[in-house]
Amino acid sequence: MDGRKKVAIVIDSSGSEAIRVALESNDGEQHELKKPVSQGNAQEVLPMIEELFKEHGLTIDAVTAIQVNTGPGSYTGLRVGIAIANMLGVLLGVPINDLPVGQIVIPQYEGDRYPS
């Protein structure tokens, strides 16, 4: 390891009361922001992540993983969190929930579930 701080972005937009984003670092530190749920909240997730990076002097290249709540929870909230996690995972080339990019949704369709 090169000694630089590495972080995982944690996104939990499933709740009916608050949206939570956090940064968990390889040295055990955790920094978190919560905001009450309101209409248009989906627009808050990325600015919350940006705020955490700025507050703690980190850059996006420190991200090595993304963790996102996949349920149970609000259907719309889950979709928002998963969509943002997928977008960041693709752009940064990092795993989501310890799975390769794209695998968070695909497993339900794998295999021969619908034989011809």
Residue 16 — very low, low, confident or very high, per pLDDT cuts 50/70/90? confident
> The domain at 7-109 falls in which architecture?
2-Layer Sandwich (3.30)
Paired residues of 12 in beta bridges: 20
More confident residue, 102 or 70: 70
Residue in the structure block whose two tokens are 């909230």: 77
pLDDT at residue 82 is higher than 80:
yes
State residue 105's pLDDT score.
47
Which residue, chain included where needed, has tokens 């630089």? 4
pLDDT reported for residue 40: 62
Is the model's pLDDT at 58 over the cut of 60?
yes
